[in-house]
Structure 1
Amino acid sequence: MKTRITPSGIPLFLLLIILASSCQSPSTPAYLTFEDTTAAVYGPYRVIKLPIDKGVTIVNPVQISLGPGGFLFAANQSGEIYTLRDTDQDGLEDSALLFADLNELGLHSPVGFTHIGETVFIGTRTEIKAFQDVDQDGKADTSWTFFDKMPVSDHPYEWTSALSVGPDGWIYFVLTTDSWNPGASPDPQGLRGSILKISPDGSQWEQVATGIRSIHGMAFNPSGDLFFADNKGGGNPTEELNLLQAGKFYGHNPKKYEGKFDTIIPPVFSLENEIAPSGIEFNSVSNDFGGTGGNLFVAFYGPGEHWTRGGVGRVVVNRSSSGYSFQEFPVVDIPKLSDLAFGADGSLYVAHHGISDYWYNAVEKKTGGFYKIIYDPGLEGKNPIHKQIKELDLSEASLENGKQLFAIRACSACHAVDGTTELLGPNLKGIGKEFSQAELLEEINKPSDRIKPSMIATKITKKDGKVLLGRVVYTDDNAISLMLVGNHIVQIPKSEIQSSEEVLKSLMYENLLAGLSEEEIKNLLDYLSSL
C-alpha cells in the first residue's frame, strides 16, 4: 500500500492520529481523585485531602510548617515530628517520614516550629529543642536543649508556641498564659503570658511584650513587622490580630503587671471569619495564589468541641503613611484546623486536628490529617468570595421579650454583654456572630458539654475543711484569686490550701429554659443573636 504524503510532508495516517489526539480532552489531574467536594470554598481553589497512608500514623496534628530541604514538617499532639513526602511524584504527599520522637526525650506538646538553615527548633511544654539531620537521611540524629528558662508547667494549655525567626535572626516565641491554672508553676520573672526572643546561638534572651493570652500563630510581614493572633476571652473582647510594639502590654491578666504599664495596646484588627485563630502566615508577594500575594492567611480551630466548625481566612493587609488597614475574606470551611503553611510549590497546606478529648489528646477514634488547597485558574469567578449569612427576622417585640427573659432567668447575673466586663461566665458581646441559634440552644441546654479553657471550674479545699467552687481569675506564687457564683472574688493564700482540682462541669445552671414556651425560647435566642 502506497503511503500518502500531505503537503506538509507528514504521512497522512500520522497526521490523522495527531489531529485525533488533539481533539481529546486533557487527562484529569491526579489530585482530583482526592478532592473534598463537601468543603465550602470561597474563591478559585480546590481542597484536596492528602492520601497519607505510609509511615507515621497521623493522629491529631498540631503543627505544619515548611522546613529544611523544602519539606513540610508536621507534628502529632502525641509527640511525633515528621516530614510529609510525595513518594510517587504525583504532586500529593502520601507518606509521613519520622524525623524525631519527643516521647523518647520525655517532652510533650510540640506546637511550635521554626528553622534556621538545617537546624530545626521545636517548642515543647518545657523547653525549646534543636535538632539536626547530619547524615541527611530524613531523621534527626543529634539534638540539644536550645532554651529552658521558662517556668515549667504540666498544665495542658501552657505551651511554648508560635516560633518565628525575625529579620534580626533571633527566634521569637510565646509562653501562653497561666492565669487560669490554680497550680501554676513559680514564675518569679513574670514570663508566662508574654512574647520572648532568643539570639541565634541561644546565649541571650529578652522579654519582648506582655499581657498575652493564648497565641498559636505569629508571622513577620515583608516589612519586618510582627503580627500575632490572640484568642478571645480572659479580658480579650474579640479574636485579636495584634501588631508587636516592643516592651508594651497587651491587656491580658493585668493584675500580674499591676503598676508596670499605663496603657494597654489594643488589637489592630478583630478577626470575624471564625473563632479561635491558630496558625497564621503571610503569603509571599511573589506567589499569586489567586491574586493573594502578600495577604495574611489565618487558620481557625473553631469553638470548643463543635466538630464541624473551623476554616481558613485571609486578610488583605495594606500599609500607608497613616498605618495599616485590613480587610478579611473567607477561603475555605474545614473543621478544627490547628495550623497552616505554604508549600514549596505555592499551594496552601492545613493541619486538621480532628476529634480529641478536652485537652486536645487522641480519643479512641483516631482522626486528623492534612489538606492541600490548590489554586485553579479555571475556577476564577465560579465560587463565592463571601459567606452567605442567613438574615434572621429579629422583631423589636421579640428582642425586648428576649432581653427581659435574659434578666428574669438570671443570665445577666453571670454574663455581661458590653464586651469588657468580666463576670463569672463569658461576656456575650458578639455571640450572635460566633454561633447559630441552634448552637446557642445546645450551649444553654448542655452547658457542661463544651467549656472554654478559661471558664473551667476549680474546686479548692482549704486546710480548715472549707470547700470553694469557682473560676480562677488570677494566680501567683502566693495566692489564688477565685471568682465565686455571684461574681464575688476571694483571694486564698496558697498556704491555706489543702488541695485544688479542676472540675469539667459548667458553673452555669442546668435547665435554665425549663417552663419556657417555644416562642419565649425563640425570643431569648433572638436577643442573644442580636448581640
Structure 2
Amino acid sequence: MDASRALSFFNHILITAGLLLSACVVLSSCNTRDARQENAHGEQPAPDSTVTVYGPYRAVRLPIQKGVKIANPIQLALGPQGVLYATNRTGEVYSLQDSDGDGLEDTAQLYCNVADWGLRSPAGFAHRGDTIFIGTAQQIRAFVDLNRDGQADSSWVFFQDIPNSEHPYEWTSGLAFGPDGWLYAALTTDSWNAAPSPDPKGYRGAILRISPNGRTAERVATGIRSVYGMGFDVQGRLFFADNEGGGNAREELNLLVHNSFYGHNPSKYGPQTTTEPVLALETEMAPSGIEFNRPENDFGGTGGQLFVAFYGPGERWTRGGVGRVHIQQLADGSYSFTEHAVADIPKLSDLAFGQDGALYLAQHGKSDYWYNAIYENEGAFYKLVFDPSITPKPLTARLNVGRPLSSNAIEAGRQLYAERACLGCHSLDENTELLGPNLKDVGRLLSREEILEEIMKPSERIKPSMMGLRITKKEGDVLLGRLVNASEDSLSLMLIGNSIVSVPRSEILHTEDVQKSLMYEGLLNGLSDAEKQALIDYIVSLGN
C-alpha cells in the first residue's frame, strides 16, 4: 500500500471511529432519556395523581392490559436476562413486558402457575443463572425456560422440608442467594396457628440456609414473625424486615447474626437473649419487600441504599408507602441508619429495581381478611423514575400533627382511660404483652380518626395475632381468648384479664377462629364528643 492510499485508509478509520463514537454518545443520550421514560415524542408519561412522592421521582402506573390478569400481586423481582417477574396471590408467575417499546411494561406474560403443582402462595423469588426458584407454602420449586420462549418447560422440587398446614399466613419468603452460594429463605411463624404442622426442627419462624443442591438446610436465625423481605448488601451482610406484634415492639429492620434469636415466640425456642433490631422503621407500618439499590445506579444519589416497601396497617386501603434507609459503617465498626420517606402508595407488597435503574413497585390492593384474591383485577404495578426536574413535596405534608395537646385534655383523657378499663388489656410500655395491642406510640402509626374508629368499631379490622380463638373442651367448658402459643401437646390462651392458661390438646373437642374483636362494642357509649377527643388526646400523648 503506498503512502497516499495508507493515509486515505487511516482517515477512513478515523472517520468511522468518529461516527461510532457519535453513535455511542447518541445511544448514551437515549439511555439517559429512557431512564427518565421519555416517549417517542420526547414527552414523559403523566405521573399518577393519587401518589404522593417526597423525592425527585415520577410515579407512573404501568398500563398492563394484556396477558395474565393481575390478581393481588405479592412478589416482584429482577430475574434472568434482566427481566422483571411478579407473582399473583392466585399462583401465576409472570414476566412484565414492554410490547410497544414506549418504556412502560404493558403485558404480563405467563411463566408458570404454581397451582398446577398443587402449590399456593408464591411469595419468594430468586434466580441463579437461568433457573428461577419460587418459594411457596409447601416447598421451594425450581423452574427453567429451556427453549427461551418465556415460559418454564422444566421444573423440579428444590427443597420441601417445610412444615405446612392450610393456614393462609404460612409463607416461604425473602428468597436470596448469599455470597456463599447458598439460598436463604424465611419461614413465617406458626404462633398464630391453633393447628400447626409438626415442626421438630423448628423451621417455621426461622431463617434457613439451604445448600446449592437443596439437600442440606440449617437454621441461621430463629424468633422471626413475618419476614417478607430479605436482602444482601454489597458487603455480603443479610438484612431483613419483620413486623410489629407478638413480642416485636416496632416494625423492624434486622441484621443477621448467625444463630441468633430475634424475640418472637420464645415459648417455641426457649428463653434466650434477644438480638435487637438495628432500626425501628417509621415510614409506615408492615414492611414487606426490601431491596438494596445497586451502587452504580445513582437514582437521585441513592446508590447502595436500602429501599423498603410497606403494606400499611391491616385493611386500611389508603395506607402504604416506600421508604429508604441510608446505612453507614462508622470508624468504630458500628453502623448509623437514616430513614427517609420516598412515597405514599397504598398496600405495597414488594419492590425491585429494574435493569434500567427505575424502581418498580407491586401493589397488592384490596383482598379479604386472609389476603386472598376475591376482587376482580385487583392490584397494580408502579414505576418510580428519577426526574431531577420534579420538586419533591415537603415531608411536612405527611406528618400527623392533629390538634394541639393541652395538659388538661391529656389528664381528662387519662382519667377516662382508667374509668373505661382500657389499661386492663393494653400495655403502654412497648414491651409488656397483654390481651390487646400495645398502645405505646400508636399516635405515630394511626391518625386520630383511625384511633377513634378502632375503638368505636373494634371488629372492623383485626390483626392476625389479635384474632380471638374459642376452645371447646370435651367436658363442655368453653374458653375464649387470644392464642399465645401452639405446640404439638397444648394450646396456650390469654384470657380476658390477661391470664394465660395452657390447655392440653387431649382435652380439646374443637377450636374455632372468632373474627370478632375481644374488645367489646360500645366502649365509648355515653361519652360526649369532647370526652372522646380527650381520650384520643391521652392515647396520642403516649408517643415518644
What is the Cα deviation at residue 29 of structure 1?
Answer: 4.7
Residues 361-412 of structure 1: per-residue CA shift (max 9 Å, x gap): 1124431010000000212x44335654253300001111111111111111
For residues 74-153 of structure 1, what are the structure 2 equivalents within 5 Å? 74-153=86-165
Cα distance in 2 between the residues matched to 1:307 and 1:244: 32
The equivalent position to 1:378 in structure 2, one of 389, 392, 411, is 389
Cα distance in 1 between the residues matched to 2:394 and 2:212: 44
Aligned-residue CA RMSD in angstroms? 1.4
| Stretch deviating more after TM superposition (65-74 or 197-206) | 197-206
Structure 1 pair 501–191 and aligned structure 2 pair: CA distance change class (3 A): same
CA contact (8 A) 2:69 2:377 kept: no
Cα distance in 2 between the residues matched to 1:186 and 1:208: 20
Cα distance in 2 between the residues matched to 1:198 and 1:173: 8
Cα distance in 2 between the residues matched to 1:107 and 1:304: 25
Match of 2:523 in 1: 512
State the one-letter code of the partner of 1:430: D
Residues 144-165 of structure 1: per-residue CA shift (max 9 Å, x gap): 1110111112111111111011
Match of 1:478 in 2: 489
Aligned: 1:205 with 2:211: no
* Corresponding residue SS for 1:444: helix
* Corresponding residue SS for 2:298: coil
* Corresponding residue SS for 1:215: coil
CA contact (8 A) 2:53 2:392 kept: no
What is the Cα deviation at residue 323 of structure 1?
Answer: 1.1
* Corresponding residue SS for 1:32: coil
CA contact (8 A) 1:44 1:383 kept: no
Cα distance in 1 between the residues matched to 2:380 and 2:392: 27
Structure 2 stretches lacking a partner, 5+ long: 1-37
Residues 219-241 of structure 1: per-residue CA shift (max 9 Å, x gap): 11111111000000001000000
* Corresponding residue SS for 1:407: helix
Aligned: 1:411 with 2:399: no
TM-score by length of 1: 0.93
State the one-letter code of the partner of 2:305: N
Cα distance in 1 between the residues matched to 2:322 and 2:507: 47
For residues 7-406 of structure 1, what are the structure 2 equivalents within 5 Å? 29=42, 31-33=44-46, 35-259=47-271, 261=272, 263-320=273-330, 321-379=332-390, 381-384=391-394, 387-391=397-401, 392-406=403-417
Cα distance in 2 between the residues matched to 1:353 and 1:26: 28
What is the Cα deviation at residue 461 of structure 1?
Answer: 1.0
Cα distance in 2 between the residues matched to 1:365 and 1:283: 33
* Corresponding residue SS for 1:202: coil
What is the Cα deviation at residue 61 of structure 1?
Answer: 0.3
What is the Cα deviation at residue 430 of structure 1?
Answer: 1.2
Alignment coverage as a number of residue pairs:
503
CA contact (8 A) 1:85 1:97 kept: yes
What is the Cα deviation at residue 173 of structure 1?
Answer: 0.5
* Corresponding residue SS for 1:332: strand
Cα distance in 1 between the residues matched to 2:40 and 2:351: 30
Cα distance in 1 between the residues matched to 2:224 and 2:197: 17
Cα distance in 2 between the residues matched to 1:73 and 1:167: 22
TM-score by length of 2: 0.91
Residues 310-334 of structure 1: per-residue CA shift (max 9 Å, x gap): 0000111111233111011111100
Cα distance in 1 between the residues matched to 2:126 and 2:100: 27
Cα distance in 2 between the residues matched to 1:383 and 1:334: 14
Cα distance in 2 between the residues matched to 1:383 and 1:128: 42
Residues 174-230 of structure 1: per-residue CA shift (max 9 Å, x gap): 011111111111111111110001111112211101010110000111111110000
Residues 76-102 of structure 1: per-residue CA shift (max 9 Å, x gap): 000000000001011000000000011
Cα distance in 2 between the residues matched to 1:83 and 1:29: 27
Cα distance in 2 between the residues matched to 1:308 and 1:382: 21
State the one-letter code of the partner of 1:408: E
State the one-letter code of the partner of 1:257: Y
Cα distance in 2 between the residues matched to 1:125 and 1:292: 34
Match of 2:469 in 1: 458
Cα distance in 2 between the residues matched to 1:30 and 1:385: 28
CA contact (8 A) 1:329 1:385 kept: no
What is the Cα deviation at residue 30 of structure 1?
Answer: 5.4
CA contact (8 A) 1:340 1:350 kept: yes
Cα distance in 1 between the residues matched to 2:279 and 2:39: 45
* Corresponding residue SS for 2:115: helix
Structure 1 stretches lacking a partner, 5+ long: 1-24
Cα distance in 1 between the residues matched to 2:413 and 2:396: 30
Match of 1:5 in 2: none
